[in-house]
């Protein structure tokens, strides 16, 4: 690798000063003159028909600017990703406790809350389905009597999907490759069932939107990480032209997947339209819990293997708890189904993933996106199989891992990390196979595996250079905590041979920012990063062309260095040259970039995956056999950044994800009593705290150098969550010989398993 | 404190300045800081006094401003994140959070820094276990805490070297 000045260099994140001084502004911090405040009336019933709504008393309350209920939605459409099933407020039915029924905008939140109490709603309760099993029961009521409109995208070889294959299943994705006869070649076939728990994202900044509707223009400040898809969806929902909708997205107070598509925005916009005044709708944390969650899942994995531990055939059946509206569930199902192979080579694969509708909080994207679920089952089962066959689980993995450069499946892109290298690394760090075995102590290893960079997503970018050499990035990548502003700034600085301090990052709004599909799926560095790289190179080329003209030479021999042009080892300051050429006023060079993985009908998802995000995890646990308590003595987590553009940022992504996973593994979960969420919000819901850290935590950023992003970089940020849960379960079996197949792994479950074993 | 027309007149020192304001009895401190004084560095996360994003220091003690009535702050000395840097010079904790990248989304960061300041002001050389125990009163969903702990250790050393 050649020496790079900005890539991988020490130095703070570009958002550091704003964030450590309290000056960083988030959507929650924006206000407008004459702004009203919105509050929402939510359903107390999990499933009920609305027989009547009377909002007259609420509308008459002094200080109320607007009220919306179902009668106010005429001409407006419902929203969702593939399936448009979620109305702005409930129409005929409510489908979960917390479903939005009506909304009020008033001079203060207090008045809005008082007005909500004046709304009279009569319900006719219906039978509820609280779980996947209940939803699939033939006698269960249907959440949707008639299917909502929606689409099934085009898929390539082996992949397919259908809408509504059965009652309460809104989407089914299937992927198959190879010959099913291969199951007959297996010496052993193992069938195991796993349960995946459901976490809430717990982003500290709530769902929030500030809207104003004036002169036919809808303007909204939002914490949505995908402003352009949001604009498109709002245009459809409000039947409003895209050029008259403007979405601003400032810093986002994290999302972990949740800050997608319509959340607070439609309510704020509709109320603003009706009130003729700006409206702010900021949800409470309780409302976050009633708006979006991770997918709980049931996973049945059937795996055929040779006596020597060679993986041959796999059939996976996954049921995701989609909650009451489809949201992004079809996309999550697509990824869970597509990636159930894990990082291994197979003769035959037959994966199916269903989105099951239940009367609970709608589930949506969550860090790991389907692979948290699939990986929990797969990496648990691989370990179980190795132990059943008397094989070393790490050696068995190595025997089956896809190699660097080997396609994931036919038609798909190749693996861009050496997975054995990473596995050896974490094994060394945890001391795998070394040292004396101590009673109650065990070591577990797992590999998290997912495609990364999104599928078929375009990104455009613009890079400007001012007369005096200021570099201004203009692109739709949203800073949600992951450090994308820092990464893209460094990419541009490197290409301009300029210090990072000369680069600034424009605020994002859909009127002025080049188009982008969104900040998701680890696409920031491998998709937008390439667009920024291209725009930067385009801009530099224009500068050098200009300099060649000014210096009366060919551009080929010229290069940039801190806003001077170097010709024959002599530096020519650019600013005076530009001023002379452009009449003393100045000029801006504008570079443009665009990137999208090519559409490919031979790829199962219609475009090859950009990159593969691998998370290696190894853990040492101590299990107290009297209480069932599991203590993490040491946790090692590692990702491959390809080339680390900012080392702290890479570490932070993997480490933060790993601790989130520790919560999921051991204690954090949304607890439902029937269809009622019991541990809603902060006082009752337990997330990892500082003293939940493992005794030793080691996060290792690999730089294997094979990534498709700028300077060999790869995505990071989701892989860290993936290996931790199965590694802990594997370590527990290693320690005390019991296998826990459902999350979280509470002391009660461990103790019960230990008792059952005796 | 006196109540006039249902409002309570209170005075306090905020980031070094004397302030007086009339508040409703049920107004919380976070709303006063954000809405009346424009100090939006104080973040509201859970709004239940659990997550700590709204942490400010009152007479040097960390409090959850979202669940503290404004009138409870009458006569007290308040410090929000905006008042921490002195004459444009960052506090050693701010420097340490910056150099360690001990933040991601930044929503918890003002509260984390102020919580840590209260710790170091009362215990200038805490060991790692003390830091973890102290910092568990605030929630960071992004970083996994370890970098925050490291930044606080670093700041403690810096403060010691600077003789503070």
State mean pLDDT over B58-63: 98
SS3 letters across A657-725: HHHHHHHHHHCCCCCEECCEECCCCCCCCCCCCHHHCCCEEEEEEECCCCCCCHHHCCCCCCHHHCCHH
Chain B residue numbers touching A205 (CB-CB < 8 A): 43, 45, 105, 107
Rounded to an integer, what distance in angstroms lies between the CA atom of residue A636 and that of residue A651? 12
**Sign of torsion over alpha carbons A82, A84, A90, A91:** negative
| pLDDT at position B164 over 60 | no
Chain B interface test: which of A21, A258, A683 (most B C-beta within 10 Å): A21
CATH of domain A16-25+457-595: 3.30.365.10
Q: What is the mean pLDDT of each run of 10 residues along chain A (758 residues)?
A: 83 98 98 98 98 98 98 97 98 98 98 98 98 98 95 96 98 97 96 98 98 98 98 98 98 98 98 98 98 98 98 98 98 97 98 98 97 98 98 98 98 98 98 91 98 92 98 98 98 98 98 97 96 98 98 96 95 97 95 96 96 98 98 98 98 98 98 98 95 98 98 94 98 98 98 96
pLDDT of residue A437: 86
- Exposed, middle or buried by CB within 10 Å (0-12, 13-18, 19+), for A148? middle
Percent of chain B surpassing pLDDT 70: 99
CATH of domain A31-126+202-289: 3.90.1170.50
Q: Outline where DSSP puts E strands in A179-244.
A: 188-196, 208-214, 217-222
> pTM for the full model?
0.98
- Exposed, middle or buried by CB within 10 Å (0-12, 13-18, 19+), for B150? middle
Tell me whether domains A16-25+457-595 and A297-454+602-757 share a fold: yes
CB contact under 8 A, A20 and B147: no
Q: Cβ(A254)–Cβ(A481) under 8 Å? A: yes
Rounded to an integer, what distance in angstroms lies between the CA atom of residue A703 and that of residue A422? 10
With a CB-CB cutoff of 8 Å, which residues 229-258 of chain A face chain B? Answer: 251-254, 256
Rounded to an integer, what distance in angstroms lies between the CA atom of residue A121 and that of residue A506? 46
Three-state secondary-structure class, residue A626: coil
pLDDT of residue A455: 85
CB contact under 8 A, A203 and B39: no
Q: Cβ(A280)–Cβ(A38) under 8 Å? A: yes
Identify whether A414 is preceded by a cis peptide bond (ω within 30 of 0).
no
Provide φ and ψ at B3, rounded to 5°.
-110, 125
Looking at chain B, the number of H-run helices and the number of E-run strands are 5, 6
Chain A residue numbers touching B40 (CB-CB < 8 A): 22, 25, 28-29
CB contact under 8 A, B43 and A688: no
The alpha-carbon gap from B111 to the nearest alpha carbon of chain A, in Å, equals: 9
Complex confidence, ipTM? 0.98
Fold of A297-454+602-757: Aldehyde Oxidoreductase; domain 4 (3.30.365)
Q: Cβ(A427)–Cβ(A727) under 8 Å? A: no
Nearest CB to B142: which of A254, A646, A691? A254
Task: Give the side-chain half-sphere CA count within 13 A for A119.
Answer: 29
End-to-end C-alpha distance for chain A, whole angstroms: 57
CB contact under 8 A, B147 and A689: no
CA quadruple A597, A598, A601, A603: dihedral, nearest 10? -30
Rounded to an integer, what distance in angstroms lies between the CA atom of residue A40 and that of residue A56? 16
Identify the structural domains of chain B with CATH numbers, from first to last: 2-83 (3.10.20.30), 92-161 (1.10.150.120)
CB contact under 8 A, B40 and A29: yes
Nearest CB to B45: which of A22, A285, A691? A285
pLDDT of residue A705: 97
The alpha-carbon gap from A20 to the nearest alpha carbon of chain B, in Å, equals: 6
Distances, alpha carbon A754 to alpha carbons A36, A443, A735, in Å: 58, 18, 11
């Amino acid at each position: 690798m050649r020496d790079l000045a900005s890539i991988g260099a020490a130095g703070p994140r570009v958002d550091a000063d704003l964030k450590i001084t309290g000056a960083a502004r988030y959507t929650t911090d924006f206000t407008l003159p004459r702004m009203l405040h919105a509050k929402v009336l939510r359903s107390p019933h999990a499933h009920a028909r609305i027989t009547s709504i009377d909002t007259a008393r609420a509308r008459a309350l002094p200080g109320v600017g607007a009220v919306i209920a179902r009668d106010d939605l005429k001409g407006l459409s419902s929203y969702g990703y593939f399936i448009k099933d979620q109305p702005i407020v409930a129409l005929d039915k409510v489908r979960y406790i917390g479903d939005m029924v009506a909304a009020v905008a008033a001079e203060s939140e207090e008045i809005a809350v008082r007005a909500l109490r004046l709304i009279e709603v009569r319900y006719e309760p219906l039978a509820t389905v609280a779980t996947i099993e209940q939803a699939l029961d033939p006698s269960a009521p249907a959440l949707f009597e008639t299917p909502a409109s929606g689409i099934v995208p085009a898929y390539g070889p082996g992949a397919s999907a259908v809408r509504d294959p059965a009652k309460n299943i809104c989407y089914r994705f299937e992927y198959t490759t190879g010959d099913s006869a291969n199951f007959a070649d297996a010496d052993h076939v193992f069938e195991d069932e796993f349960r995946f728990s459901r976490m809430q994202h717990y982003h500290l900044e709530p769902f929030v939107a500030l809207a104003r509707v004036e002169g036919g223009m809808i303007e909204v400040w939002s914490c949505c990480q995908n402003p352009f898809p949001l604009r498109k969806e709002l245009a459809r929902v409000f039947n409003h032209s895209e050029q008259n909708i403007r979405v601003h997205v400032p810093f986002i107070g994290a999302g972990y997947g949740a800050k997608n598509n319509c959340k607070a925005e439609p309510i704020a916009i509709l109320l603003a339209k009706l009130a003729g005044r700006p409206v702010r709708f900021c949800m409470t944390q309780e409302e976050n819990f009633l708006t979006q969650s991770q997918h709980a899942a049931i996973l049945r994995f059937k795996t055929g293997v040779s006596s020597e531990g060679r993986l041959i055939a796999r059939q996976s059946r996954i049921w995701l708890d989609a909650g009451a509206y489809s949201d992004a569930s079809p996309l999550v199902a697509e990824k869970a189904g597509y990636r159930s192979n894990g990082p291994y080579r197979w003769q035959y694969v037959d994966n199916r993933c269903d989105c099951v509708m239940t009367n609970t909080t709608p589930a949506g994207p969550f860090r790991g996106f389907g692979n948290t679920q699939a990986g929990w089952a797969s990496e648990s089962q691989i370990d179980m199989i190795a132990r059943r066959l008397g094989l070393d689980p790490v050696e068995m993995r190595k025997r089956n891992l896809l190699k660097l450069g080997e396609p994931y499946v036919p038609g798909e892109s190749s693996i861009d990390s050496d997975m054995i290298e990473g596995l050896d690394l974490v094994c060394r760090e945890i001391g795998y196979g070394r040292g004396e075995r101590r009673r109650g102590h065990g070591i577990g290893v797992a590999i998290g595996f997912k495609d990364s960079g999104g599928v078929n997503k375009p990104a455009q970018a613009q890079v400007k250079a001012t007369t005096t050499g200021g570099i201004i990035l203009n692109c739709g990548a949203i800073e949600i905590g992951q450090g994308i502003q820092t990464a893209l700034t460094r990419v541009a600085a490197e290409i301009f041979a300029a210090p990072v301090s000369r680069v600034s990052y424009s605020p994002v709004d859909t009127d002025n920012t080049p188009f982008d599909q969104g900040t998701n799926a680890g696409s920031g560095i491998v998709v937008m990063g390439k667009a920024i790289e291209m725009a930067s190179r385009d801009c530099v080329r224009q500068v050098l062309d200009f300099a060649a003209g000014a210096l009366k030479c060919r551009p080929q021999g010229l290069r940039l260095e801190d806003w001077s042009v170097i010709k024959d080892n002599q530096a020519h300051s650019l600013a005076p040259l530009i001023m002379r050429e452009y009449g003393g006023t100045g000029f801006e060079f504008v570079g443009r970039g665009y990137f999208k993985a090519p559409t490919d009908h031979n790829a199962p998802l219609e475009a090859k995956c950009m990159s593969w995000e691998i998370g290696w995890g190894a853990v040492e646990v101590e299990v107290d056999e009297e209480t069932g308590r599991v203590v993490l003595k040491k946790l090692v987590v590692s990702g491959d950044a390809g080339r680390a553009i900012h080392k702290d940022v890479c570490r932070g992504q993997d480490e933060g994800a790993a601790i989130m996973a520790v919560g999921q593994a051991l204690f954090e979960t949304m607890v439902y009593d029937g269809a009622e969420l019991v541990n809603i919000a902060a006082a009752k819901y337990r997330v990892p705290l500082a003293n939940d850290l493992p005794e030793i935590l080691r996060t290792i950023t690999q730089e294997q150098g094979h990534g498709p992003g700028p300077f060999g970089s790869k995505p990071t940020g989701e892989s860290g969550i993936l290996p931790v849960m199965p590694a802990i379960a594997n370590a527990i079996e290693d320690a005390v010989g019991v296998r826990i197949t459902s999350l979280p792994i509470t002391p009660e479950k461990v103790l019960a398993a230990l008792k059952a074993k005796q | 404190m006196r109540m006039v027309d249902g409002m309570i007149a209170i005075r306090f020192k905020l980031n070094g300045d004397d302030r007086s304001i009339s508040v409703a009895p049920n107004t919380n401190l976070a709303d006063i800081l954000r809405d009346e004084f424009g100090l939006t560095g104080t973040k509201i996360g859970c709004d239940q006094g659990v997550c700590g994003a709204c942490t400010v220091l009152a007479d040097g003690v960390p409090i959850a401003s979202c669940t503290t009535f404004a009138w409870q702050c009458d006569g007290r000395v308040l410090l929000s994140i905006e008042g921490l840097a002195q004459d444009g010079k960052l506090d050693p904790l701010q420097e340490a959070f910056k150099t360690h990248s001990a933040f991601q989304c930044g929503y918890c960061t003002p509260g984390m820094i102020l919580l840590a300041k209260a710790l170091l002001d009362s215990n200038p050389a805490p060991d790692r276990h003390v830091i973890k125990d102290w910092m568990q009163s605030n929630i960071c969903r992004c970083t996994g805490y370890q970098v925050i702990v490291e930044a606080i250790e670093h700041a403690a050393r810096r403060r010691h070297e600077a003789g503070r």
